[in-house]
Amino acid sequence: MKIINNIQKKIMGEVKYAKHLGVKVGENCSFYQNIIWGSEPYLISVGDNVRITSNVTFITHDGGVHVLRNYRNMKNIDKFGRIIIGDNVHIGIGCIIMPNVKIGNNCIIGCGSIVTKDIPDNSVAVGVPAKVIETIEEYFEKNKNNFDNTKGMTNKQKKEYLIKKYNLDDKDM
């Protein structure tokens, strides 16, 4: 089954594949490889201008009820939760998004974070569990002198630019 899913992804592309699974996807989104949409992808909603990078996992159910099924003799119980991603969001590599979470608009979720609670609009959140560490405006102010205008450059142009910027030579590479 995994081989078939990988073939479907390659043919359809990551965004179309997510939609095929039932994920509600907004406009102008980009999804990288190896995203796990969980067992109930139709409970996930993604806004406009969202980038989800590699190895992000969405969990839409609480597997812990397995214990209660036996402990409390509640054989048929399950527990589910929606995941809602706002507009203009970046989710870094290797994040896990838990059920019943809403990530607001204009948010950055740092690599490897586990999001267990709602993240408000205009926030940068990182960690395990993810916590808001600053606003988007604070992130901008802190980094504005370190930004490089390389978007749109070819890989060769970007490499030349970065080698020059960091004064690298052959022995550094």
Which active-site residues does the annotation give? 66
Pairing state between β 131-135 and 123-126: antiparallel
